[in-house]
Chains A and B, each alone.
Chain A
Amino acid sequence: DSGVTQTPKHLITATGQRVTLRCSPRSGDLSVYWYQQSLDQGLQFLIQYYNGEERAKGNILERFSAQQFPDLHSELNLSSLELGDSALYFCASSPRGARTGELFFGEGSRLTVL
């Protein structure tokens, strides 16, 4: 158990809908990363937050947004969903000040868009 909690584990929804994925980082970790994993693209970096502030942005679509709250949990909002958004969404956290690549991943939220 990595200590990172993601909910929901599975989500099935329809095109055009909006969903929110939630992540609770490990106790004490200030950084939260969101990744999308699909079969053909591998793990794609979406966005990173550090102590409530956006720190880095990857290939995140404009239809997607995220935030990190004062209690350090984070939410990834996906709107106007398309079939191609079906994927595993991972949240990862890292220790304060870590620059070692030591990311602790949750078990992911599997999104299916029908």
Chain B
Amino acid sequence: QKEVEQDPGPLSVPEGAIVSLNCTYSNSAFQYFMWYRQYSRKGPELLMYTYSSGNKEDGRFTAQVDKSSKYISLFIRDSQPSDSATYLCAIGMGNQFYFGTGTSLTVIP
């Protein structure tokens, strides 16, 4: 079983839509929960991270963690064409980090 499973997508939404991206993980020992964004032909860049259950907001982005269900989500409000990218969830403990396979998002103007 993989440490983290991510809904594969791809997702295609109209500009302005709310986007929901989801992952589940297997081990309750994981401590950090992250979302990375990867544009085509670029390396992933950290978008958000959190340690605890609950919501963390940063502008149009909200990361949600439910440790009891081992479920993490990223919500994007008022999606923009510039949000078109692959989004990777990641979980970590200690020095080790595991990434989901990524969800490709296209926001159509």
Contact = CB atoms under 8 A, between A and B. Distances in A.
Residue picked from B33, B44, B96, B99, most chain A C-beta under 10 Å: B44
For chain A, which range describes its interface: under 10, 10 to 19, 20 to 34, or 35 or more residues? 20 to 34
Interface in B22-68: 31-34, 41-46, 49
B100 A42 contact: yes
Given A2-B43, A101-B49, A43 B34 contact: no
Interface in A29-60: 31, 33, 35, 41-43, 45, 48, 50, 55-56, 58
A4 B88 CA distance: 19
Given A43-B88, A99-B32, A99-B94, A108 B46 contact: no
Interface string B86-98: 0010101011111
Given A2-B43, A107-B43, A100 B97 contact: no
Interface of B: 6, 31-34, 41-46, 49, 88, 90, 92, 94-102
The 5 closest A-B CB pairs, nearest first, are A105-B43, A42-B101, A43-B99, A101-B34, A101-B32
Contacts of A35: 99
A66 B101 CA distance: 24
A111 interface: no
B48 to A, nearest CB: 10
A107 B46 CA distance: 14
A48 B94 CA distance: 12
B43 A48 contact: no
A105 B95 contact: no
Nearest to B41: A107
A41 B101 CA distance: 6
A55 B46 contact: no
Contacts of B101: 41-43
